[in-house]
Amino acid sequence: MKINKYSSVWVAVLGIVAGILLVLTVQKYDERKGITKITGDRWRKFDLVLQSVSENYVDTIAYDEVTEAAIVAALSKLDPHTIYMPPVELEESEVELAGNFDGIGIQFNVPNDTAIVLEVIPGGPSEKIGLQQGDRLLKVGDKTIAGVNFPQDSMVRRMKGPAGTKVTITVQRGDEVIPFEITRDKIPVNSIDAYFMLNDTTGYIRLSKFARTTTTEFVAASASLLAEGMKYLIFDLRDNTGGYFDQALNLSNLFLDKGDKIVYTEGLHKKREDYDADGRGFMKNIKLSVLISEGSASSSEIFAGAIQDNDRGVIFGRRSFGKGLVQEPVYFSDGSGVRVTVARFYTPSGRCIQKPYSEDYQYDILKRYSDGEMVDVDSIKVNKDEVFSTAGGRTVYGGGGIVPDVFVPMDTTRASNFYVQCNKKATTMRFASSFFDSHRAELSSIEDFDSLLKYLDGASLDKAFLSFALAKDGLKPANEAEWKLTSTYMLPQIKALVGRYSKLGDKAFYHLYLEIDNTVAEALKPHSIDI
């Protein structure tokens, strides 16, 4: 959207420039004078054009708008990941990977035009002041945010603010409306969504991003699982879009032997730099499987590539995004910045997994859907001109992401019409919050997974959900056969959404949701892959 807005301004600038050049051309042929000579560095012509506009344009120029439009237009001629970021976007991006931010310390969702508190972060200012799971957010300060289609990102911005400042959050709890004055503080942001044992020997860790605190979090989570008897780890990097380069190196190093290559980088202005494991990682003897998807990118692909090329573990899922570039930030005094691609990275076998630039680059994932790649392994596009070998001699390919060792198709067979209609109206999410309202005391008292599972199994959630769907949304299965098909897929999701309202939070959600996760199920099966 922003590029389109800027593009119109840029077209106007080009029109002005064309007029100036035309005048100069006429002068050249009529009077042989007035020609501006281009000398100096490669950007001199660009400077001269803008200077000419500044000195000759008929009206007052909005310099900030024109400058930003020119920057965006110029960078659009480079790779898709070299981008300009205005102050607000840059700040949000930096905060996401920093490991903490200034705020009030809650997680919420908006199932029905009203934000509902999913989790009150332990030790944070909201917990200290008395906010609770299930509270409905009505106002931030004097601004009503409930029932008015208030944008979710605007809610977040209003709640955030410098540590030490105060904000009043008005909530509805049952029939009561309660204002809370909260003093903002530093809030930790976890990059690990959940970790737990799947069985006596198998651990599971889900990582959402490679943030500044990722290594510290991962070491703590792994140590906890090792203490519980973990011999095999399923490491979930699906939809992890990456983050800090050094964090991918640190995590790879934990699993590899001394001298094993992790990655190397090289660019026109960057000499080749190799990164090898030091052999001191405490996860070297743990059996490993890595889960990836079409949304796994950048640092996720560095890790997956290092594991695959060293034959250290098995990669499950679908072909990863294909971002094999390294960016470095350039910051400006007005709070904006540029992320400039400075190098490509190469996996240990020497492959660059950057997918080709094209006019449809941003729609590549949609194209994979339409080409059938999400459901058929034979539809995966690989570049047969870029063939490489792992340490053990297995064939791998460059030029378009990490192709998994074990392909797991997207499951589209259980999406009945009833399921699709419920998804459109967020019926399951709204049911979960409604169920919590009616069973707050029981859910809030549950502290371990076995107790939660026992409670949910005995809560008759299927009957309660069907009644809710009919009463609130006028939805019901066409017949018993449709519900039988749908329930095996939908009920675990309902349990997961309800379980999230317990003290276990996201741990409960992911643990329950894995019951219908075919990629995890595949990783739990024995596979005869020569590694």
Catalytic residues: 298, 309, 323
Distances (CA, A) of 392 to 117, 198, 397: 50, 30, 15
The CA distance from 218 to 228, in Å, is 15
Which residue matches tokens 């100069």?
24
Residue 478, judged by CB atoms within 10 A of its CB (0-12, 13-18, 19+), counts as exposed
352 in Cβ contact with 272 (< 8 Å): no
Could you tell me the two tokens for 497? 């959404």
Residue 79, judged by CB atoms within 10 A of its CB (0-12, 13-18, 19+), counts as middle
From the list 247, 181, 245, 240, the residue with the least C-alpha distance to 219 is 247
The CA distance from 44 to 144, in Å, is 52
In this structure, is the dihedral angle defined by the CA atoms of residues 77, 79, 85 and 89, taken in order, positive or negative? positive
From the list 194, 122, 111, the residue with the least C-alpha distance to 436 is 111
The CA distance from 56 to 105, in Å, is 53
Work out the angle at residue 352's Cα, subtended by the Cα atoms of residues 351 and 355, and round it to the nearest 5 degrees: 130
